Amino acid sequence: MTPREFGERFFDFAATAFRVEARDAYAVSAEAEAMRRFLAGEPYGLEWLDGWLRAVAGAAAQGRAVRRVRVVSRPLGDYARFGLDVARHAVRAGEEIRYLPRERAAALGVPERDCWLFDDARLALLDFDGDGVLRAVEPVTDPALVASQRAANELAWREAVPAEAFARAVLPPAPSAPVEAGRARAGRVSGGGGSSGGPG
């Protein structure tokens, strides 16, 4: 399945969508300017993320949950710090995001596998190239692998730290960007979203 096809079907889930992010950085052209501004200490807008924020808010209003665990190396690199700062906007929109240090994930035996698990039953493995560009999405139907990932997700979620608390511990105060910045894009949700948000 292509990233575009995955993005178009993403919000078809009934109750839960659970993301595990295993990389320290992702390559997403749409967020490059916002990241540049963040690293320069400048305010950044959210036009590039507005479609995702609105879609998440809509799902939350319907009682559907979007959850994300980010497995991160410490100290955080530039991309991870940017993603953590942006996470506060996704959390306000209704996404639930937690952070799990990589060494803790390894001790727990949590597999470092980029994936989405929908409704605890449909697993999608995300294939990134060496630069962090999402190349393809592989649907998995093997019940044993789905069950294994579900158990790993539950363990990671229990052990991970909510984004707000994690940010207070590792980030200095940063300029804020209004959640309402920009206009939502009609149609599909981008399938190439990176660590700062989106289905990729």
Taking the domains of the chain in order of start, what are their residue ranges?
3-170
- Three-state SS at 101: strand
Please identify which residue in the block is written with the tokens 């807008």: 45
> What is d(CA 143, CA 171) in angstroms, rounded to the nearest whole number?
40
pLDDT of residue 198: 76
Alpha-carbon span 156 to 100, nearest angstrom:
7
What's the pLDDT tens digit per position in 100-111?
999 999 999 999
Residue in this structure with the two tokens 């501004």, named with its chain if needed: 37
Q: What is the pLDDT of residues 33-50, one digit of tens each?
A: 999 999 999 999 999 999
**Domain 3-170 belongs to what topology?**
Endonuclease; Chain A (3.30.870)
Distance CA 58, CA 93 (A): 9
Q: Which two structure tokens, joined as six digits, stand for 145?
A: 């692998």
- Predicted TM-score (pTM) of the model is 0.88
Task: Give the residue from 37, 8, 67, 12 showing the smallest Cα distance to 187.
Answer: 8
Q: What is the pLDDT of residues 140-188, one digit of tens each?
A: 989 999 999 999 999 999 999 999 999 998 876 655 544 444 433 433 4
